[in-house]
C-alpha cells in the first residue's frame, strides 16, 4: 500500500513538471511569435541560452543564463538586450543617461550604443552546457521525445501495478478452485 502511494505521488509530481514545461513553452512561444518579445520575463526573471562565443571565456556557447529584470545597471555588468529579433549577451563598458555601450569579452570592438529600454536585465548566474539540452528540447523531435518519455514514466508504473494485480487475482482464483475441489471431495 505504501509503495502504491509513493508511485502515485511520483506520477503526480511528474505530471506537474511536464505541465509546467509545456505551459512555459506555450507562454514563451506566444510571447515570441505574437509580441516579438524574445525573452519574456514572468515574475521579473527570464532564461536564455548563449548562442555565440562573444563572451568567452566568461560564458560559452550552450550555457543557460538566468536574467533578472532591473532598472539599475552599472559598468562591468553582463546584460541581455534585444537587438531586433535577436538577444545579445554582452558586458557594459560605457554608460550614458539613456543608453549604454556594450562589448563581448571575446570581441575586439564595442557595439553601437543601445537604448536602456532595450535591456531585458542583467545576468545573475549561468549553468554551463544546459542550454544545449534546452535548445534540443525546443526542436520538434526533442519535444516529442520529452512527451513520449513523460507518458512512458507515467504509464509504465501503472502497467506494472495492473500486471501485479492480475497475478494476485489469478492466485486468488487458483485458491478458490483448490478450495472448491477440496469441498467436492
Candidates 27, 121, 30; CA nearest to 67 is: 121
Residue that wins the pLDDT comparison between 55 and 82: 55
Q: What is the pTM of this model?
A: 0.67
DSSP 104-142: -TT-SSPPPPEEGGGEEEEEEEEETTHHHHHHHHTSHHH
Which triple of cell numbers denotes residue 66?
A: 538566468
For 142-155, the pLDDT digits (tens) are 888 888 887 887 78
Question: Tell me, what's the pLDDT at 35?
Answer: 55
Instruction: Tell me what pLDDT residue 156 has.
Output: 81
Q: Where are the domains of the chain?
A: 1-37+138-168, 40-134
| H-helix or E-strand spanning residue 36 | none
- pLDDT on residue 143: 82
Going by their DSSP bridges, the two strands 86-95 and 78-83 should be labelled as antiparallel
Please give the Cα distance from 79 to 178 (Å, whole number): 76
40-134 CATH: 2.10.109.10
Amino acid at each position: 500500500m505504501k509503495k502504491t502511494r509513493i508511485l502515485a505521488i511520483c506520477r503526480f509530481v511528474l505530471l506537474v513538471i511536464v505541465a509546467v514545461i509545456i505551459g512555459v513553452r506555450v507562454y514563451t512561444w506566444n510571447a515570441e511569435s505574437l509580441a516579438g518579445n524574445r525573452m519574456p520575463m514572468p515574475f521579473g526573471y527570464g532564461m536564455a541560452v548563449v548562442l555565440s562565443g562573444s563572451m568567452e571565456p566568461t560564458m560559452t556557447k550552450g550555457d543557460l543564463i538566468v536574467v533578472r529584470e532591473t532598472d539599475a545597471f552599472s559598468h562591468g555588468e553582463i546584460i541581455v538586450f534585444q537587438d531586433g529579433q535577436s538577444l545579445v549577451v554582452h558586458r557594459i563598458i560605457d554608460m550614458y543617461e539613456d543608453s549604454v555601450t556594450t562589448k563581448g569579452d571575446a570581441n575586439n570592438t564595442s557595439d553601437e550604443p543601445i537604448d536602456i529600454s532595450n535591456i531585458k536585465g542583467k545576468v545573475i548566474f549561468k549553468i554551463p552546457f544546459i542550454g544545449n539540452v534546452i535548445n534540443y528540447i525546443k526542436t520538434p523531435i526533442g519535444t516529442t521525445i520529452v512527451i513520449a518519455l513523460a507518458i512512458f514514466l507515467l504509464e509504465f508504473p501503472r502497467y506494472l501495478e495492473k500486471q501485479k494485480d492480475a497475478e494476485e487475482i489469478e492466485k486468488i482464483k487458483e485458491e478458490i478452485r483448490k478450495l472448491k475441489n477440496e469441498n467436492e471431495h
